[in-house]
Structure 1
Amino acid sequence: MAIEAVVFDLDGVIIDTEEVWEQVRRGYVAEYDREFLPDTQDRMMGMSTPEWSGHLANDVGVPRTPEQVADDVLSRMAERYRTSLPLIPGSIEAVQRLGARFPLALASSSARVLIDQVLETAGLTDAFRVTLSTEEVPRGKPAPDVYLAACEKLGFAPSVCAAVEDSSNGLRSAGAAGLAVIAVPHGVYPPAEDALALASMVVTNVSELSPAVIEGLR
């Protein structure tokens, strides 16, 4: 069963923003004299905007509504992206190589406003036939919703699609949706062993991806 399409994650695969997200959200929480819970960072990786903003408001205790938390944090992230977009070396070229052979989709936990900003700044607006935020599906990662929706919009069954992911929740999401999963583990935030075990292939850098690599998955 040959792979016919590829779905990319964004944060940690195309742009190296997990540390930026952590810095911005920790700083924001500290302004209200609150601190992350021991598992806050791990839990938020892959969460949709309503999910992580709800966590910061309801569990961490930021005295703002989830909607206000989301607006505050997203505005700070957008400003960071406008001034300095942390592209992962080789990621644009990898997208372009695979896009010359396969239809591409993007399935991200970032908000729509940030997805659009990143793609515009990186010159990748036309690289993807489909772009989805977990804001636009019922549940964020690790639920399979965003990957199932991406495959449906591309017009392919999940079984003939490959996913490129870095985080535990992202790997779980793509695996639960039935895609062939390529893991690109983040050096600072490596995925859990159970999540990594869902991958059909593990590469050390996104620059290793090529049509031949994708075709060898099935």
Structure 2
Amino acid sequence: MAIEAVVFDLDGVIIDSEEVWEEVRRGYVAEHNREFLPDTQSRMMGMNTQEWSGHLAEDVGVPRTPEQVAADVLGRMAERYRTSLPIIPGAAEAVRRLGARFPLALASSSARVLIDQVLESAGLTDAFRVTLSTEEVPRGKPAPDVYLAACEKLGYAPAVCAAVEDSSNGLRSAGAAGLAVIAVPHGIYPPAEDALALASMVVTGVTELSPEVIENLR
């Protein structure tokens, strides 16, 4: 069954933002005299805005409402992206390369405001037919919702779509949705072995992707 469309993740695939997210959220939590729980960082990778802001407010104990936490953190992240976008070298070119052959979608756990900021700063606003935040579906990753919605909006069945993902929850989300999964493991935040096992292909970087690679995926 040939691949007919490609769905990209954003954080860790197009931009190297996981360290920025951790730095911003750790700093924010520390300002409120709280500390990350042992699994806070891994749990938040893939969560949608409502989920991670709720975790910081309710589990970590930041004395702000989840809505206030989200607004505070997203404001800091957007400013970081405006001043210094951590785009992965060669990622924009890889997106354009695949976009010349396949319809593309973006399925991200980032908030809509950050997705739009990143695409504008990277010059990729016109590269994707569909962009979705997990804010815009009922559940964040690892639930399959955002990938199912992306495929539906593209007009393709999940079985003929490929996903490009880096995190454990992202790999699980794409796998549960039925896409062919390409894993791009992050060097500092590598995916769990059970999540990596869901991948049809593992590459060391997004720059390895080409139309020929995608066409031979299945």
TM-score bracket for the superposition, by shorter chain length: over 0.9
Partner residue of 1:124? 124
TM superposition shift of 1:201? 0.0
Partner of 1:203: 203
Aligned ranges 1:3-152 → 2 under 5 Å: 3-152=3-152
> How far is 1:65 from its partner?
0.2
Alpha-carbon separation, structure 1, partners of 2:31 and 2:175: 37
CA RMSD of aligned residues (A): 0.2
Name the SS for the 2:132 alignment partner.
strand
**Counterpart-to-counterpart distance in 1, 2:89 and 2:117:** 19
Distance, in Å, in 1 between the alignment partners of 2:191 and 2:22 is 16
What one-letter code is carried by the residue in structure 2 that aligns with 1:106?
L
| 3-state SS, counterpart of residue 149 of structure 1 | helix
Deviation string for 1:105-159 (max 9, x for gaps)? 0000000000000000000000000000000000000000000000000000000
Aligned-partner Cα distance in 1 for 2:11–2:53: 17
Partners of 1:35 and 1:213 in 2: how far apart? 43
Q: Where do 5+ consecutive residues of structure 2 fail to align?
A: none
Relative to the length of structure 1, the TM-score reads 1.00
Give CA-to-partner distance per residue, 1:33-72, whole Å, 9 cap, x none.
0000000000000000000000000000000000000000
Give me the identity figure in percent.
Answer: 90
Q: Which amino acid aligns with 2:144?
A: P
Q: How far has the Cα of 1:79 moved from its partner?
A: 0.5
The letter for the 2-side match of 1:143 is A
Moved runs in structure 1, 4+ residues, more than 4 A?
A: none
AA matched with 2:30: A
> How many residues end up aligned between the 2 structures?
218
Q: Does 1:184 align with 2:184?
A: yes
User: Residue type matched to 2:9 in 1?
Assistant: D
Matching residue's letter, 1:31: E
Cα distance in structure 2, aligned partners of 1:205 and 1:122: 18
- Code of the aligned partner of 2:87: L
2-structure distance, mates of 1:18, 1:150: 22
Counterpart CA distance in 1 for 2:166 and 2:129 is: 21
